Structure 1
Amino acid sequence: MIKEVGIIGLGNVGKVLATFLKANGMLYWAVSRSAADDENILRNISDIKELPSLIIIAVADKYISAVSEKLAHKFGKELEGVFVFHLSGALSRNELILCENNGAIIASAHPFQTFFVTGNYENVFVDVLEGISWGIDCKAEYFPEIEKFINKLLGKAKYLSSETLAKKAIYHASAVAVSNYLTAAITLAKKMANLADIEAEDFLLPIIKTTIKNNFSDVDFPITGPIARCDLAVVKEHLENLSVKPHLQKSYAFFGAALLELIKDEKIMSEEQIKQLEAILLQKHLY
């Protein structure tokens, strides 16, 4: 049973989890070389004296294997029965194989959420953790115990099938698309709103909310606007007027071209219409 937790790494994800676990009496220790002076935070793995029932490795992907190696080297068979998770969405649980070789129960437990937190970390639990899905890569017999722990984090554990694990890079890319690419689209719209001297929040936020709602409705591809209508004159006018800010013009063309690729896949526009739009959006000077 997972009762107490140690966290290695206090970056965006680690800090949120450590704050939540501490507030709920489950944080055993945390390790961070870059944290401010705090007697409850250890500086190195070598400073760990006792093992909790779960160790969460919350470091960048490129360091996970090295942390696993350090834990295996320091504790050896003391890891028997200890759960060890990493949080990567791209890597498999096999990054922790050296811990497993010493008896640890390993898993990749990936929180499907963005952890760019603004404001006070004490107030993020509901907004950031509640109701999110965690993609779990573990041996099937250990999933029930891991699920109980994820429930304590207010989340929903999702056991990843072998088919999904074989395509884990795409699984992770979907999270990147909905977070980073959505941020890029919203940032572009905000900058254009500023250029047009309108208040971004008042004008754009209702569209953003409705668009998100529409995309999770029964409609498969709810697009509208000049590209969907193949309104060539309007698309040209947009690009011409954005020439005063070439980086915005280029970004607008990129997004338009990306939308066209999805339109092709959905087969909702004629080949001739697509060619006409491509002639506008894929002009060499824009790339």
Structure 2
Amino acid sequence: MTVKTLHIIGCGKVGRTLARLWHEAGLFSINGIVNRTENSAAKAVSFIGAGRAIATISALPPADLVMIASGDDQIESLCSELAKTHSLDKTTVFHCSGALSSSILKSAKQSGALTASLHPVKSFADTADSVKTFAGTYCGMEGDKEALAILEQALHKCGAKTFAISPQQKILYHAANVLICNDLTALMEIGFQCYERAGIPREFAVEITKPMVAETIHNIQTKGTACALTGSVARGDMQTFESHLQALKDWDSTYAGIYEQLGKIAMDLAQQQKRMAA
């Protein structure tokens, strides 16, 4: 059986992770890699262990699949350039954006390509670690049936799990990912700054909160958000909540506003918790 060839346009952390996994599993033959600079593309080739750096999209030879793993604001223009310079009949063109649907690839579709989007629900902070921990990752998928069949098989063979996303609701789906991952990181940064202002060094704050953070995530995943809620709001101790809020206002009004808005959501959860316990 002939291994399908794959080009990558915009080979950053996600692109490198997927390409290396697929290369090591012998699922796709990694071919051309186009990045902003040839040096960046060469580094991607080195990490993946396959492929070759190509200077421009127009210089890419024909391939069975093309993955556009660039930033969201570049996907449409990169796809248009690909469609202008290549015959894409029966080629599978897909992107890895969580916010955009495959309709952004309309120029490729108009040129005869099958199109899809593939979004791993995963944090790609370190590419080498992402390769090691990718098995078990859920990937949201939407697009042409034939394209999805190829991509789902490749993902499943790397240990990933796939699920369907509504193209019309992708932006809200992606906002959910950002709230749970990126904004959780930002919220913890606020917390660490609070610790520092209270005289506790950041390094120690990170250490002492590890068990609490792990327990909180575990409780959310096993009991649900309402039952996982603890602390002053869950106990109905609004005097402590107001004291927290005032202390934050005296220091940083933006952080106080975030605390107040999150507190309102926590109050709703506390009410749910009480109803469940009744």
Whether TM exceeds 0.5 here: the answer is yes
Is the Cα contact below 8 Å between 1:133 and 1:155 reproduced in 2?
yes
Counterpart mapping for 1:150-161 below 5 A: 150-160=155-165
Quick check: 1:111 aligned with 2:120? yes
Q: Is 2:267 the partner of 1:263? A: yes
Q: Could you state the TM-score of these two structures normalised by the residue count of structure 1? A: 0.79
What's the CA shift for 1:139?
Answer: 2.6
Gaps of 5+ in 1: 271-287
**d(CA) in 2 for partners of 1:29, 1:111:** 22
State the Cα distance separating 1:2 from its structure 2 match: 6.3
CA contact (8 A) 2:64 2:92 kept: yes
Over 3 Å counting, the alpha-carbon distance change for 1:269 and 1:124 in structure 2 is closer
Which one-letter code corresponds to 1:41 in the other structure?
Answer: A
The equivalent residue for 2:58 is 46
Q: Give me the whole-angstrom Cα distance separating, in 1, the residues matched to 2:129 and 2:229.
A: 35
Distance 1:52-1:114 versus aligned 2 partners, 3 A rule: same
| 1:78-227 equivalent positions in 2, closer than 5 A | 79-117=88-126, 121-127=127-133, 129-160=134-165, 164-198=166-200, 199-221=204-226, 222-227=228-233
SS of equivalent to 2:181: helix
Deviation string, structure 1 residues 221-258 (Cα, Å, up to 9, x no partner): 12111222232332233344446642xx6324413322
Could you tell which deviates more after superposition, 216-225 or 166-175? 216-225
1:8 aligned to 2:37?
A: no
8 A contact 2:108–2:115 mirrored in 1: yes
SS at match of 2:187: helix
Structure 2 CA distance for partners of 1:133 and 1:146, relative to 1, 3 Å:
same
Q: Show CA shifts across 1:10-63 (max 9, x none).
A: 233223334444545532121112352638211210221x22221100112222
1:27 aligns with 2:30: yes
Q: Tell me, yes or no, if the aligned pair for 1:2 and 1:145 is still in contact at 8 Å.
A: no
**1:58 matched residue in structure 2:** 69
Residue 86 of structure 2, aligned match among 54, 63, 75: 75
Over the aligned positions, Cα root-mean-square deviation in angstroms equals 2.7
What is the deviation of 1:80?
A: 1.7
Deviations 1:183-241 (A, max 9, x none): 01211222222333441133111111011011111344121112222323322333444
Q: Which runs of 5+ in 2 are unaligned?
A: 46-51
Q: Distance in 2 between matches of 1:29 and 1:61?
A: 21
Summarize deviations over 1:92-136 as a string: whole Å, max 9, x none. Answer: 11111221222211101111122222xxx3343123x22111111
- Distance, in Å, in 1 between the alignment partners of 2:187 and 2:241 is 17
Q: Is the 8 A contact 1:109 1:136 kept in 2?
A: yes
Q: Percent identity?
A: 26
TM-score, normalising length: structure 2: 0.81
